[in-house]
Structure 1
Amino acid sequence: MHTMWKGSISFGLVNIPIKLHTATEDKDIKLRTLHKECHAPIKYEKKCSACEKEVAPEDIVKAYEYAKGKYVVLDKEDLEKLQKENEDKAVEIIDFVKMDEIDPIYYDKCYFMSSGDGGNKAYALLREALIESGKVGIAKIIIRSKEQLAVIRVYDNTLVMETIHFPDEVRKTEDVPNVPAEATIAKKELETAILLIDQLTTAFDPSKYTDEYRTALLELIEAKKMGKDVVTSQEKVQTTNVMDLMAALQASIDNTKPEQAAEEKPKKTKTRKKVAKEA
């Protein structure tokens, strides 16, 4: 597994050398953009918006636009120095909190943490302390020139660092349009909705969920590559066109009712067979 960051993490006087490894991977299917006429890849050239000249990588600088059309140019050396000063510091766990106090909206990206040279005992100590206390650590870290707030927790006997958004990076719910503040909900509607939730409640098993679009796209690509005809499946169940909330809830419940283990077969009516007499 590729190491994308090396450093150390500390809590109190305990220092743990660690390595970070990306815990998840993007499996989106990347499609190239081609010229329709000759099927050659399309190039996207970097050109100056003023002089229309193509710009080489060495002639590109970073800048911050503080007003429309006005920029503060930041030298590469300044950015590298600032990044180096912060990356050389050990990551310190600032606080310990209960995990359920952190709303999932804050979570961003997940990294596995492995022990660095000589850090096995300290790694195991932090892992066991987190498990026994039922807490997670809150820390700060610089990753790819950006300071990140992070949660240190245990997943499947492995320490995990999960970056989380700073509070000012999460937009205010007050800015979301058309959110009903209050609504009159009939008791029967609420009870029926809860019944539907109960019928759909199960133990979480991540293996049962698959990316159906990606699978279908891969099958389409493979079929076209092999020169086969492609047909679209029409097996999806059509939803009922219900008009009111109560009817929609009841229809949903009816559609999710478990099938009977065994239905009684209707009894056959005994009939006498007519015997044809021999002539």
Structure 2
Amino acid sequence: MHTIWKGSISFGLVNIPIKLHAATEDKDISLRSLHKVCHTPIKYEKVCPVCETELKPEDIVKGYEVAKGKFVVLEDHELEELKKQTEEKAVEIIDFIQLSDIDPIYFNKSYYMSPNEGGAKAYTLLRKALLESEKAGLAKIVMRSKEQLAVIRVYNHTLLMETIHYPDEVRNAEEVPNVPVKDNITKKELDTALLLIDQLTTPFEPEKYEDEYRNRLMELIESKRTGEDLVTPTTKEPRGNVTDLMAALQASIDRTKPKTATPKRKRAAAKKKA
């Protein structure tokens, strides 16, 4: 597994040399943009619209727009100096917390952590301490010129670091438009919705879910590559014109209802009708 970062974890006086490895990977299918006439891949060149010249990397500087059309220019050496001042190649655990206290909206990207040379025993100690205490470590780390918050926990016998957003990076949910404030749901509607949830509840087995679009796209690419005939996929049954919330819920239940209802379910249904 490719190492993307080397450093150490520190908590108290304990220091653990570690390596980071990406825990997830993006499996999106990459498509190139081609010229329709000759099928040549298109180049994306950096051109100054005023000078009308193509720019080389040394011709480009970073800038922060403080007002419309007004920029503060930041030189590369200034950014490098700032990076050196903050980057110590250490993951410093600053607190220990309950993982359940963090809403999933804060989670960003996951990394596996492996012990570097001489760090196996301390790595094992931290792993066991986290398991025994049922806690997670809240840490700070500088990666890619950005200081990030991170959570360190145990996943499948391996230390896992998940970077998390700062509070000011999470947008205010109260600013989402058209969210209903009043609750005008009837008890019958709620009971029917809960029954539907009960029928659809199942243990989470991630291996049974697949990216259907990606699979179909690869089939299309393969059929074109090998010259096979294309097939038309089977279309889903059209949904009924359901305009009532109660009818929509009942229709969903009917679709998921087992062929033979259990006596318990029959009695519950009889009570609801009564």
Partner of 1:4: 4
Report the residue type matching 1:157 in the other structure.
Answer: H
Query: In structure 2, what residue type is equivalent to 1:136?
Result: A
State the match for 1:68 in structure 2.
68
Q: Kindly state the Cα deviation for residue 183 of structure 1 after the two structures are TM-superposed.
A: 2.2
Partner of 2:252: 252
Q: Give 1:126 shift.
A: 0.6
1:15 and 2:15 are equivalent in the alignment: yes
Displacement of 1:209 after TM fit?
0.6
1:241 corresponding residue in structure 2: 241
Cα deviation code 1:51-94 (max 9, x no counterpart) = 11111111111111111111111111121222223222522101
Q: Given the two structures, how large is their TM-score scaled by the length of structure 2?
A: 0.92
- Equivalence map 1:1-279=2 (5 Å): 1-260=1-260
Spell out, residue by residue over 1:102-121, the C-alpha distance to the aligned partner (whole angstroms, 9 max, x if none).
Answer: 00000000000000111111
Among the aligned pairs, what percent are the same residue? 69
Cα distance in 2 between the residues matched to 1:49 and 1:145: 29
User: What's the offset of the Cα at 1:238?
Assistant: 3.1
Aligned to 1:272: none
* Root mean square deviation, CA, Å: 1.3
Indicate the SS of the match to 1:252: helix
| C-alpha distance after superposition, 1:23-72 (max 9, x if no partner) | 00010000000011111111111111221111111111111111111111
Cα distance in structure 2, aligned partners of 1:121 and 1:238 = 60
Secondary structure, aligned partner of 2:8: strand
Report the residue type matching 1:36 in the other structure: K
Q: How far apart are residue 149 of structure 1 and its match?
A: 0.6
- Displaced runs of 4 or more, over 6 A: none
- Unaligned 5+ segments in structure 2 are 262-274
Of structures 1 and 2, the larger Rg is shown by: 1
TM-score (normalizing by structure 1): 0.91
The one-letter code of the counterpart of 2:65 is E
Q: Across the two proteins, how many residue pairs are aligned to each other?
A: 261
Q: Return 232-241 or 190-199, whichever deviates more.
A: 232-241
- Distance in 2 between the 1:189 and 1:92 partners? 50
